[in-house]
Amino acid sequence: MDTWMHEHIEQLTATHGSVPPPWAVFNVHPYSIGWRMGAGESHLMLWSAWWPQQALT
């Protein structure tokens, strides 16, 4: 995991207790370009890296 991702994940978990799912952070249509560029893409990358580490059932 990249350093910037680790730092942002730590910041989000300190603030929210977890990394909020992308659909809770960005209220945009699933086919929006925002998921493939910019802040939506970055948050989706963070959440995708954080989620598997939780080993939730």
Q: Tell me the pLDDT of the chain (57 aa) as tens digits.
A: 789 999 999 999 999 999 999 888 888 888 888 888 888 899 999 999 999 999 887
Tokens coding 5: 């991702």
As a whole number of angstroms, the distance between CA 1 and CA 50 comes to 10
Q: 0.85 cut: is pTM over it? A: no
